[in-house]
Amino acid sequence: MVDLSKLNSMSDIQDGHKLDNPCTIVIFGASGDLTIRKLIPALYHLYTDGQMPSSFRVVGFARREKTDESWRDEMRVGIEKYSRTRRVDANKWQAFSGNLYYHRGDLTDFGAYGGLAKRLAASDHAAQFGNLVFYLAVSPSLYGEVVDQLQAAGLLKRYEQNDVNWQRVVVEKPFGRDLQSAQLLNNQLIKHALERQIFRIDHYLGKETVQNIMMFRFSNAIFEQLWSREAIEHVQITVSEDIGVGSRGGYFEEAGTLRDMMQNHLLQILSLVAMEPPPVLEAEDIRNEKVKLLKSIRKMTPEAVAKHVVRGQYFAGTVNGENREGYRQEERVNSKSNVETFVAVKLFIDNWRWSGVPFYLRTGKNLPYSASEVRVQFRPTPNVLFAAQDDLDLQANALTLRLQPDERISLRFNGKVPGNSIETRPVRMHFGYDAEFGAYTPEAYERLLLEAMAGDATLFIRRDEVETAWQIVDDIRAGWGETPLSNHEFYAAGTWGPVAAEDLLAADNHLWHIPAPAK
């Protein structure tokens, strides 16, 4: 069983610093969208909430000609435009921005890294130079180059347990485009660093409700005892997006929804929902269980892909009253493209707990609205007591974990309608984060950056997790081969996907649960 006394070890950020280790965060790609939209706003809010180390620096590294002051001004505009508060406290900004610096350099220029090393060494606090977080907010094709240059400049070395100082490398998805490229990318990353120094980000794992899945499962006996094939009929995981590919058409032509969403976000959620309890809530123990779960997923043969996987592509339609173009009409998209913008898959987990229980996963673009949910459908009760009652609306119990937006948990059960007749209808019990705690939900990047500085890898993805997930995706793509999309695999923008996705569940007498729209 899980040692629940350690549950707070993953969330001990409410009071003071998690670890007060002075450090420097170097952001490669400091002129990019990720930096201005997510990273600097997250670091600013960590600072204003008292979560940053007492001594820290943030150094932006990019090619464009800028000064410290001009970069700080850009970052302030980004906080005012993109952060969760959309405002800046003048006094706190002055204190925070004094820790922001800009270093101009080309990622392929060794001299730029040498200059960076000199600049980092010019610190009044020695630990700021020794403790380094390198955030690679650049194309994955450049990861190997950056790591090589850092090692050559003496900024990155393999971290041993007895070393006084540490260096960590944080990287964004995509972690390759298939198993082979993921293995190559991972080999580049660990060429000059140990696996425990590599922090692979999937921002979904930083969301409060995703983190709460383990707490919900393992600290509530009424649910943990039901969390198996004996009580659960099937599980649905939906991650819908109400946007199209927009300006990302070129990227999407290479990736598609299977690579872009299923390989990481949905399989990560699945692993947390279905994994076995770890012996303790330590990073490696949790990640061991996630990998074991992914390896237990039944292999997707070409025959299984044909039967259990649905892909789709949107054509012109209306989303939230707005006319949308079809995928093939989007910028930088092939007019005859067969790239999928929707995927639904039926998976089986071949272990003792989940034998025979189908897991349905779906994700797509230009759906009616954005929502992420886990729907646990329990087995129906025998109907012998109510068989003679024709007017009863008896439905199986269901549990819904709403991941975003409006983070909440809902339980559906049957209740009797007041009156003299035996009339029933489904009723719901709701738990909402905002209503219960009356506090903000931190942005995912706030939590992930804090954990990277603290060296806690629980919410990051290990090499074998990445590669196991890619094997599943590669098997599906191999099953598709070069077969073009058929007519029943297209769907209008603003609908819940192709008819084939409904047929996937109808074969088992199931229906997709439609997530509730945002409040």
pLDDT exceeds cutoff 90 at 12 = no
Same domain as 191, residue 280 = no
Same domain as 155, residue 185 = yes
103 among known catalytic residues: no
User: Residue 393 burial by CB count (10 A; 0-12/13-18/19+): exposed, middle or buried?
Assistant: exposed
Distance of alpha carbon 278 from alpha carbon 288, whole angstroms? 8
pLDDT exceeds cutoff 50 at 340 = yes
User: Residue 472 burial by CB count (10 A; 0-12/13-18/19+): exposed, middle or buried?
Assistant: buried
Same domain as 315, residue 171 = no
Q: Which residue in 192, 203, 234, 265 is the catalytic one?
A: 265
In a domain, 100, yes or no: yes
Residue 6: pLDDT band (50, 70, 90) is: very low
Same domain as 482, residue 353 = yes
Q: How many domains are there within the chain?
A: 2
Same domain as 489, residue 342 = yes
In a domain, 196, yes or no: yes
Residues listed for the chain: 519
Q: Token digits for 81?
A: 């435009």
pLDDT in tens, 74-116: 999 999 999 888 889 999 999 999 999 999 999 999 999 999 9
Same domain as 375, residue 274 = yes
Same domain as 373, residue 493 = yes
Average per-residue pLDDT for the chain: 89
- Over residues 403-410, mean pLDDT: 88
In a domain, 83, yes or no: yes
In a domain, 23, yes or no: yes
Same domain as 214, residue 188 = no
Domain ends where: 176, 200, 224?
200
Long-range own/partner contacts, residues 447-451 (CB < 8 A, 24 or more apart): 447/13, 447/206, 447/208, 447/211, 448/201, 448/203, 448/205, 448/206, 449/25, 449/39, 449/42, 449/43, 449/46, 450/13, 450/18, 450/46, 450/51, 451/18, 451/199
Same domain as 271, residue 180 = no
For 182, the domain range is 4-200
In a domain, 455, yes or no: no
Domain ends where: 184, 200, 216?
200
Same domain as 269, residue 226 = yes
Percent of the chain topping pLDDT 70: 92
Domain ends where: 200, 230, 250?
200
CB count in 10 Å sphere of residue 450 = 23
Same domain as 370, residue 468 = yes
Distance of alpha carbon 32 from alpha carbon 263, whole angstroms? 25
pLDDT in tens, 439-486: 556 788 999 999 999 999 999 999 999 999 999 999 999 999 999 999
Residue 390: pLDDT band (50, 70, 90) is: low
In a domain, 446, yes or no: no
In a domain, 301, yes or no: yes
Phi-psi group of 491: left, alpha or beta (phi > 0 → left; psi -120 to 50 → alpha; rest → beta): beta
pLDDT exceeds cutoff 80 at 137 = yes
Helices (H), 55-109: 68-82, 90-97
Max distance between CA atoms of the chain, in angstroms, equals 85
Same domain as 220, residue 355 = yes
Q: What letter does residue 355 receive in the DSSP assignment?
A: T
In a domain, 453, yes or no: no
